[in-house]
A = this chain, B = another copy of it.
C-alpha cells in the first residue's frame, strides 16, 4: 500500500462514514416525537460512534461496481440499522449481559430492559421500510435487497448464528462448526453488505457475482476472528467493551479453541484469499482491498 493511496482511503472512509451518519440520522425519528423514550433509545442504539464497517463495505463494493452513492445509501443504512438491532438484544441480561458497548452504557443500562427490547424491535422494520421507501431504487432493486438482507438477518443468518453461539457456551466446537456459526452470526450480514451493490449494478457477469461472494465470505470470517483476537488482546478502553468477556462466558471463539498463533495465521490466510477474489475486478477494487486490510488490522 503506497502512502497516497492510504491517505486517500482514510479520507474516503471518513466521507463514507459521515454519509452513513447523515443517512441514519435522517431515517431515525426525532427523539422528541411520541413515543419519545423509544425514539431516544433507538437513536442512542444507532448513533453511538460505531465503526460503520458494513456501510463501508457497501460503499467500497459499490465503487468497485460503479454504483451511484445515492443507491448505496439504502443498503448501507438498512444493514447498519439491523446490525445495531442485533447488538442491543445481544447485550440484554438474558443474552450476553453486557454493561458497556463502545465505551458507553448498553441500551438496557442507559434506559431499561423493556425499552431496549422494543427499541431494537423497531429498528428492524425501520430497516425494511427504508429499503421499500427509497426513491433511489426501482421496484426490482428494492425487492431484491429486501430478500437478500431479510435472509441474512433471520434464522438462516445472523439470528441463527446468535442462537448457535449461545448454545455453544462451554462446548468445544469443531473447526467446521465454528466456521458455520461465525458464517451465520457475523458473516451473513457482512456478506449482504458486500453483495447488495451487485443487485444495484445492472447486468453483472457471473464471474463478478462469484468473486464478490467469495470475497465477502472470506473477509466476513476474518472480521470475526479479528474480533475474537481483540477480545483477548485488546484493552477495555480501546475496544469499548470489557476485554476477555468471551473467555469469562466460555464462548466458542477462534483463540479459545485453536490458540492465538493459529488465529492470527488463519486471519492472514483469509485476507490473502479475499485478495485473490478481488483480482477479478482489477484496479476498481482498490477501496475494497484497503478496507479488507483495515478490517484485519484494526485495533477496535
Chain A residues with a Cβ under 8 A of chain B: 29, 34-35, 37-39, 42, 85-86, 89, 92, 94-95, 112-115, 117-118, 121-122, 124-126, 128-129, 131-133, 138-140, 142-144, 146-147, 149-157, 159-160, 162-164, 166-167
User: Provided the pairs A155-B29, A159-B38, A163-B37 are in contact, do residues A133 and B147 lie with their beta carbons within 8 angstroms?
Assistant: yes
Chain B CB within 10 Å, residue with most, of A115, A122, A153 = A122
Residues of B within 8 A of A156 (CB): 29
User: Provided the pairs A117-B94, A146-B146, A147-B133 are in contact, do residues A155 and B167 lie with their beta carbons within 8 angstroms?
Assistant: no
Identify A35's interface contact among B131, B140, B147, B155, CB under 8 A.
B155
Contact B29 A121 (CB under 8 A): no
* Cα–Cα distance between A163 and B160 once the two chains are bound (Å): 27
* Cα–Cα distance between A2 and B265 once the two chains are bound (Å): 77
* Cα–Cα distance between A117 and B153 once the two chains are bound (Å): 14
The dominant DSSP class at the A interface is: helix
User: Provided the pairs A35-B163, A118-B163, A166-B114 are in contact, do residues A154 and B129 lie with their beta carbons within 8 angstroms?
Assistant: yes
Contact A37 B128 (CB under 8 A): no
Residues of B within 8 A of A115 (CB): 163, 166
Q: How far is the CB of A262 from chain B (nearest CB, A)?
A: 25
Contact A126 B146 (CB under 8 A): no
* Cα–Cα distance between A94 and B115 once the two chains are bound (Å): 9
Contact B122 A160 (CB under 8 A): yes
* Cα–Cα distance between A157 and B131 once the two chains are bound (Å): 18
Residues of B within 8 A of A118 (CB): 89, 159, 162-163, 166
* Cα–Cα distance between A162 and B129 once the two chains are bound (Å): 19
Q: How far is the CB of A268 from chain B (nearest CB, A)?
A: 29
Smallest CB-CB separation from A160: which chain B residue?
A: B35
Residues of B within 8 A of A164 (CB): 34-35
Identify A125's interface contact among B29, B113, B124, CB under 8 A.
B124
* Cα–Cα distance between A149 and B126 once the two chains are bound (Å): 11
* Cα–Cα distance between A128 and B150 once the two chains are bound (Å): 6
Given A29-B156, A38-B159, A95-B114, 7 more A-B residue pairs with CB atoms under 8 Å apart are: A35-B160, A121-B159, A126-B150, A128-B128, A129-B150, A139-B140, A143-B146
Contact B122 A151 (CB under 8 A): no
- The 6 closest A-B CB pairs, nearest first, are A94-B113, A139-B139, A129-B150, A132-B147, A132-B146, A38-B163
